[in-house]
């Protein structure tokens, strides 16, 4: 498929159906990283003594949590950039990043209860950390739903930019704020915490290496998904533009 130039579009762009070589390479590399991260999580890292195999959930659970937070941070940057420049491309980066971040945080929120069922005897508790994470997830799910309710593209973009910046407060509370709360039973896997969580575990060198590799892998997972999602948004714009053009001719 040859390149097609769409002129006069809010997202004037040159796109082809086939992904660029760099994206293909990144996608393959990320898939290999995921395989390597799985090897490190299941075989390289030793079995944690008090929890057994279930502790291995943490490698992907925490990795996805990190990448989710990174995605929401990218939305903040894109939001600020949009408010300054008014460029549609920044809006696309912002909402694409929210969608990918939401998928990553869903991985964290869905896998955590499996570990909790063993460690705490119940899958969910209204602990400050878990509650904050649930509020964060709901905030960003609401972002996507509320955006859909706005028809005017510029208003939608302005709303998205401002909401994306404000909603980041929920990320700060979830990842940083709860570290100052002693009344949480959620273990702090990375960094200092005031709490003594139920299910804390020490980081043996191999556990630490696997965790660091997982962080790196999920960073690539985020970057790859974001790039694909941005391309999808540009494709959506092209379809909308063609539809509008055809309708104006017919009308």
Partner 1 sequence: MLAAIIQNPTPDTVSYLIIGYVIIGVVGLGYVITLLIRQNNLRRDLEMLKRLEEEEG
Sites for partner 1 among residues 71-90 (CB under 8 A): none
**C-alpha span between 94 and 74 (Å, rounded):** 7
Interface with partner 1, residue 50, by CB under 8 A: yes
What is the rounded CA–CA span in Å between residue 57 and residue 36? 15
Angle at 169 between CA 79 and CA 96, to 5 degrees: 40
Tell me if 60 contacts partner 1 by CB under 8 A: yes
Return d(Cα 175, Cα 173) in angstroms, integer: 6
Question: Which residue lies nearer to partner 1 by CB, 188 or 241?
Answer: 241
What's the alpha-carbon Rg for the chain, to the nearest Å?
Answer: 21
Site string (106-125) toward partner 1, x via CB under 8 A: xx--xx--xx-xx-------
Binding flag, residue 35, partner 1 (CB under 8 A): no
CA nearest to 199, candidates 188, 213, 215 = 188
Find out whether 70 and 100 touch, Cβ atoms under 8 Å: no
CB of 38 to partner 1, least distance (A): 9
- Which 8-state DSSP code applies to residue 10? T
Site membership for partner 1, residue 154 (CB under 8 A): no
Question: Which residue, 158 or 238, is less far from partner 1 as judged by CB?
Answer: 238
For residues 30 and 165, which CB has a smaller minimum distance to partner 1 in the complex? 30
Task: Give the binding-site size for partner 1 (rule: CB under 8 A).
Answer: 39
List the beta strands (DSSP E) in the chain. Answer: 4-6, 13-15
Provide, rounded to whole angstroms, the least separation between the CB of residue 61 and partner 1. Answer: 8
For residue 128, the SS3 value is: helix
Q: Which residues contribute to the site for partner 1 (CB under 8 A)?
A: 17, 47-57, 60-61, 64, 103, 106-107, 110-111, 114-115, 117-118, 225, 228-229, 231-232, 235-236, 238-239, 242-243, 245-246, 249-250
């Amino acid at each position: 498929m040859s390149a097609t130039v769409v002129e006069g579009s809010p997202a004037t762009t040159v796109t082809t159906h086939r992904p660029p070589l760099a994206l293909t390479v990144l996608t393959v590399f990320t898939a290999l990283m995921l395989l390597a991260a799985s090897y490190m999580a299941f075989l390289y890292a030793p079995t944690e003594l008090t929890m057994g195999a279930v502790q291995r959930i943490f490698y992907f659970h925490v990795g996805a949590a990190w990448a989710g937070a990174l995605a929401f941070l990218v939305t903040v940057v894109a939001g600020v950039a949009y408010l300054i420049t008014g460029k549609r491309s920044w809006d696309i980066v912002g909402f694409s990043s929210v969608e990918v971040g939401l998928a990553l945080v869903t991985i964290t929120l869905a896998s955590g209860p499996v570990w909790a069922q063993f460690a705490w005897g119940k899958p969910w508790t209204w602990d400050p950390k878990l509650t904050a994470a649930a509020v964060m997830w709901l905030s960003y799910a609401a972002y996507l739903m509320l955006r859909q309710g706005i028809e005017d593209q510029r208003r939608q973009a302005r709303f998205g930019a401002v909401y994306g910046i404000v909603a980041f407060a929920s990320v700060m509370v979830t990842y940083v704020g709860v570290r100052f709360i002693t009344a949480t039973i959620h273990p702090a896997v990375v960094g200092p915490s005031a709490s003594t969580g139920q299910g804390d575990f020490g980081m043996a060198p191999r556990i630490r290496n696997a965790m660091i590799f997982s962080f790196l892998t999920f960073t690539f997972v985020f970057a790859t998904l974001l790039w694909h999602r941005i391309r999808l948004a540009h494709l959506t714009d092209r379809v909308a533009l063609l539809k509008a053009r055809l309708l104006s001719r017919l009308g």
